């Protein structure tokens, strides 16, 4: 791998430093599948990772660990690579353009700041995101919706590749009901994802108040404490104590148990670049209720039931009609599972390898 006549590739998987969020899962799955699919005799590959990364120590790849000391010099150090893949552009780790002569593949996960930020903060994010767009060799978006956001907010005129996310295989995971799930005592709705305002989780509470003998389980990292506290205050105001269960930082075993045993999955988010959890729920054959905003209709297609507004009465109507449709069709669960198979990490990884090959004009895959 030290031979000078093979290209040097750097894959920026530094989002691994953020556990229990979508970018951690994206980084872990892409890295794992690259280890399976890349021919490492054809390239000198380095993963930029956190110290507690999930990859084997004896893998045929070099690891460069993110640290406070390393961060200061990383942009200059990046100039030595023939190909850089930034998996979450814009990243804190970007090369100095005056030194970097290689090819740059960048993935834009979302432009959610357009929906979350306003005024000066939004302009700051826009400036940062636009700064190096023209220098990128190959630009990737994880949905057509994100591509449209890029076109709408920049002067980028070059082709953009769409590479959809995959969902991880869970066949090897044994579902586990842990002690903290004792609060779940009956049928429940499930919502998986980071607890933050853009997930719009509070709108589920008036809906829950109109449903009898059903609980609501939130599973995910609490990223915004003030929003969590606001939501819990609403729980108390509506008298829903005991019917709302919050499970932070769930394990894969716990998450599988929740998907298997929930009666339906609910996801009223208003800002998604892709939206993995609804597809995960479909892979278990569960009915999915989502908002009709941003990328969600593109990803979920005709297999989800859509809330077109968040008026409690209207949400209830959509939920009741959707559950009736689901329960009357015994083939619905299998159709959902089949639909979810279109989102495969092996397919996603092979698309990226093809792009690496196009950038370097050479074959890199094992097959």
CATH number at residue 334: 3.40.50.2000
Residue 220's pLDDT is what? 94
Asked if residue 173 belongs to a domain, the reply is no
- My answer on whether 14 and 136 are in the same domain is yes
- My answer on whether 336 and 348 are in the same domain is no
- My answer on whether 150 and 241 are in the same domain is no
Token couple for 312: 């409690």
- My answer on whether 317 and 222 are in the same domain is yes
- My answer on whether 39 and 143 are in the same domain is yes
Phi/psi of residue 104, nearest 5 degrees: -125, 115
pTM to 2 decimal places: 0.93
Residue 193's pLDDT is what? 94
Token couple for 248: 């932070």
Residue 1's pLDDT is what? 44
For residue 151, the number of C-alpha atoms closer than 13 Å in the C-beta half-sphere is: 12
User: Is residue 257 classed exposed, middle or buried when 0-12, 13-18 and 19+ CB atoms within 10 A define those classes?
Assistant: buried
Q: What is the pLDDT along the chain (367 residues), one digit of tens a residue?
A: 444 589 999 999 999 888 878 899 999 999 999 999 999 999 999 999 988 999 999 999 999 988 755 666 777 788 899 999 999 999 888 888 878 899 999 999 999 888 888 899 888 888 888 988 989 999 999 999 999 999 999 989 899 999 999 999 999 999 999 999 999 999 999 999 999 999 999 999 999 999 999 999 999 999 889 999 999 999 999 999 999 999 999 999 999 999 999 999 999 999 999 999 999 999 999 999 999 999 999 999 999 999 999 999 999 999 999 999 999 999 999 999 999 999 999 999 999 999 999 999 999 998 7
User: Is residue 196 classed exposed, middle or buried when 0-12, 13-18 and 19+ CB atoms within 10 A define those classes?
Assistant: buried
The residue range of the domain holding 87 is 8-166+344-360
- Residue 53's CB is within 10 A of a number of other CB atoms, namely 20
Asked if residue 365 belongs to a domain, the reply is no
Q: How far is CA 153 from CA 72, 133, 141, 150, 255, in A?
A: 30, 12, 14, 5, 37
Residue 72's pLDDT is what? 63
- My answer on whether 318 and 205 are in the same domain is yes
Asked if residue 367 belongs to a domain, the reply is no
Asked if residue 1 belongs to a domain, the reply is no
Domain count, the chain: 2
Residue 349's pLDDT is what? 98
Does the N-terminal peptide bond of residue 313 adopt cis geometry, omega within 30 degrees of 0? no
> Based on C-alpha coordinates, what's the Rg of the chain?
22
Residue 166's pLDDT is what? 97
Compute CA 246 distance to the chain's CA centroid, rounded to the nearest angstrom: 20
Token couple for 207: 């809906």
- My answer on whether 348 and 278 are in the same domain is no
Residue 234's pLDDT is what? 97
């Amino acid at each position: 791998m030290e031979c000078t006549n093979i290209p040097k590739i750097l894959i920026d998987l530094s989002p691994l430093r953020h556990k229990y969020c979508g970018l951690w899962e994206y980084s872990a799955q892409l890295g794992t599948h690259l280890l399976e699919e890349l021919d490492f005799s054809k390239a000198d590959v380095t993963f930029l990772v956190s110290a507690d990364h999930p990859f084997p120590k004896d893998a045929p790849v070099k690891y460069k660990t993110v640290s406070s000391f390393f961060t200061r010099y990383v942009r200059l150090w990046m100039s030595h690579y023939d190909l850089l893949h930034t998996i979450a552009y814009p990243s804190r780790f970007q090369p100095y353009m005056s030194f970097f002569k290689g090819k740059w593949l960048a993935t834009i996960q979302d432009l959610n700041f357009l929906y979350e930020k306003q005024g000066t903060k939004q302009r700051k994010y826009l400036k940062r995101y636009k700064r190096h767009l023209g220098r990128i060799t190959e630009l990737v978006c994880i949905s057509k919706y994100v591509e449209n956001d890029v076109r709408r907010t920049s002067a980028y005129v070059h082709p953009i590749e769409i590479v959809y996310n995959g969902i991880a295989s869970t066949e090897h995971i044994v579902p586990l009901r842990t002690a903290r799930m004792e609060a779940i005592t009956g049928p429940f709705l499930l919502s998986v994802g980071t607890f933050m305002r853009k997930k719009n989780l509070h709108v589920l509470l008036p809906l829950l108040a109109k449903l009898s003998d059903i609980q609501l389980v939130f599973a995910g990292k609490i990223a915004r404490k003030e929003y969590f506290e606001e939501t819990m205050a609403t729980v108390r105001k509506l008298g829903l104590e005991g019917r709302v269960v919050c499970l932070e930082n769930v394990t894969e075993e716990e998450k599988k148990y929740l998907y298997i045993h929930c009666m339906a999955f609910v996801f009223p988010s208003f800002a998604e670049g892709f939206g993995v959890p609804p597809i995960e729920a479909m892979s278990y054959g569960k009915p999915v209720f989502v908002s009709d905003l941003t990328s969600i209709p593109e990803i979920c297609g005709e297999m989800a039931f859509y809330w077109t507004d968040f008026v409690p009465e209207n949400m209830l109507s959509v939920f009741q009609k959707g559950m009736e449709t689901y329960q009357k069709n015994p083939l619905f669960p299998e159709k959902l599972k089949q639909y979810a198979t279109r989102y495969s990490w092996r397919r996603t990884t092979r698309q990226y390898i093809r792009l690496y090959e196009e950038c370097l004009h050479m074959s890199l895959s094992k097959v």
